[in-house]
Amino acid sequence: MTGVTESQFVIDDRITPRFRVHRSALADPAVFEAERRAIFDHSWLYVGHESEITSPYDFRTRRVGGRPVILLRDGDGSVRVFVNTCPHRGMQIETRAEGNGRFLKCFYHGWSFSTAGELVALPDEASYGENFDRHNLCLAQPAQVDSYRGFVFLSWSTSPGSLLDYLAGAADYLDLVADQSDTTMVVSGGTHLYAARANWKLLSENSYDGYHALTTHHRYLAMLKASGKDMARAFGAGVRTDASTVQGRALAWDLGHGHAVVGAPDRSRGQNFPLGRDFISASAAHAQAERYAHFAQAHGEDWAARMFGSRNVVIFPNLAIVDLGMGITIRTYDPLSADSMEITAWAIAPGEDHPELARMRRENFLTFWGPAGLATPDDIEALERCQQGYAARDAAPWTDISRGMVRANPLTTDELQMRTFWREWDRRMTGTIHPSEVAVSPRAGRVALPYDARVQSAGFR
Ligand code: FES
Ligand SMILES: [Fe+2]
């Protein structure tokens, strides 16, 4: 496709080629208000993982799309999401981050709700008269709640359609995480919660930005090298420059609906973490090789190579899953204003993980991805400094995201993934259609595992 499509925010020029985003999209409070409606009210948004609420009556509180919610497991095993506000006068029903309880009791005037959201008791009910109907005072729920392979999402309207349709090609990338366990993937205890004075879309961009690693994270890479890591093997030919067009073997993919991924399959049969320190012991390396062999047998060599490879996927608009083998991070970020966001991140790992591999993954979650880790503070510094630059957007109005537009098979260090995000963002905000730059990768249709059936039978309301 050649030509130019443009709006007030995005200029998508396939002739030069050049892709530009107006910095008002990243800094203007009016844009922030508009995207609350156009983006966050009409997308499937990540709430949490089923493994966080394994026992009946477990709950977690979250903010999703700017609204407080309670994610809980009901007594019948079903997963529910309620709006965390009391129908009486609005108090947050549950103020703790997590817990377990048969009832949700409002601290303010003492109304109590069942885990199905029904008002079951209130002090001095007689004062409301004989026509009082508790059923009119249930806890509110999002328009839709659904789950895919243990990942629970909500939408605040019915417009996004079904979750699976919305996920499009990104569903494969949840499969690639979920398939890493024979039992279930488990979100480990502990949450990274931090904030940044930067527009939320900068973190979508950053979460799959391969271009910045060598500069922003040069100290981390120097540490890796000093630790004895074989950098040539980690970053060698065949991993970063393979331009094969077979899905899963090339490097950046438009997954449809604004979702995109960068990554590479593993060519070491489980013996190399591209961005991680080497194995902490021979037994850990052996365990990982055994895991690879097991999954290659179970799912085939191609799927195992993808599972054990690396990938950074952003599911539009604000869910990033970064799977580098050395650990898997689930990250979501809720905007607070045009120039600030709250970031939440969790580690997820196989429930039956080898103890030493589990330790490695936990340590990497803390020391690489943690808010005080070896990577995240550098990223946040970059994002906040970008944001400060946007104060001068009258003088310097445009951001450039053109890298790799000339390539038929964009690399992880190119910017196809960000352009994919921005094309969807602009379509939602202005109605402008920017055609896809490369063939969109649909869901490959991996066979459903029994776990899918279990998730579906649990039921959602
Ligand atoms: S606000 Fe909840 S009982 Fe009054
Ligand atoms: Fe980074």
Distance 233 CA to ligand 2 centre (A): 21
Is residue 454 predicted with pLDDT exceeding 60?
A: no
Segment 420-429 mean pLDDT: 98
- Ligand 1 atom at shortest distance from the alpha carbon of 86: 2
Give the pLDDT of residue 453: 33
Distance 35 CA to ligand 1 centre (A): 31
Which-ligand-closest: CA of 108? 1
For residue 106 and ligand 1, the question of a CB distance below 6 A is answered with yes
Is residue 210 predicted with pLDDT exceeding 80?
A: yes
The pLDDT tens digits for 217-227 are: 999 999 988 98
Is residue 1 predicted with pLDDT exceeding 70?
A: no
- For residue 301, name the pLDDT band (cuts at 50, 70, 90): confident
Segment 12-35 mean pLDDT: 98
For residue 91 and ligand 1, the question of a CB distance below 6 A is answered with yes
Pocket mutation for ligand 1, best pick of 82, 111, 120, 137 (most atoms within 8 Å of C-beta):
111
Segment 311-340 mean pLDDT: 96
Residue with CA nearest ligand 1 atom 3? 109
Is residue 459 predicted with pLDDT exceeding 50?
A: no
Q: What percent of the chain has pLDDT over 70?
A: 92
- For residue 237, name the pLDDT band (cuts at 50, 70, 90): very low
- Ligand 1 atom at shortest distance from the alpha carbon of 122: 3
For residue 121 and ligand 1, the question of a CB distance below 6 A is answered with no
In the chain, the domains with their CATH numbers are 45-147 (2.102.10.10), 169-447 (3.90.380.10)
Mean pLDDT for the chain? 90
Segment 19-30 mean pLDDT: 98
- Ligand 1 atom at shortest distance from the alpha carbon of 109: 3
Segment 342-350 mean pLDDT: 98
Q: What percent of the chain has pLDDT over 90?
A: 79
**112 within 8 A of 120, measured Cβ to Cβ:** yes
- For residue 408, name the pLDDT band (cuts at 50, 70, 90): confident
- For residue 461, name the pLDDT band (cuts at 50, 70, 90): very low
- For residue 233, name the pLDDT band (cuts at 50, 70, 90): low
Pocket mutation for ligand 1, best pick of 70, 82, 89 (most atoms within 8 Å of C-beta):
89
For residue 109 and ligand 1, the question of a CB distance below 6 A is answered with yes
Is residue 147 predicted with pLDDT exceeding 80?
A: yes
For residue 108 and ligand 1, the question of a CB distance below 6 A is answered with yes
Segment 386-395 mean pLDDT: 98
- For residue 240, name the pLDDT band (cuts at 50, 70, 90): very low
Segment 71-86 mean pLDDT: 97
Give the pLDDT of residue 412: 87
Distance 89 CA to ligand 1 centre (A): 5
Give the pLDDT of residue 251: 76
Give the pLDDT of residue 276: 84
Distance 101 CA to ligand 1 centre (A): 18
Distance 243 CA to ligand 1 centre (A): 59
Which-ligand-closest: CA of 119? 1
For residue 95 and ligand 1, the question of a CB distance below 6 A is answered with no
- For residue 458, name the pLDDT band (cuts at 50, 70, 90): very low
Give the pLDDT of residue 387: 98
For residue 139 and ligand 1, the question of a CB distance below 6 A is answered with no
- For residue 2, name the pLDDT band (cuts at 50, 70, 90): low
User: pTM of the full predicted structure?
Assistant: 0.93
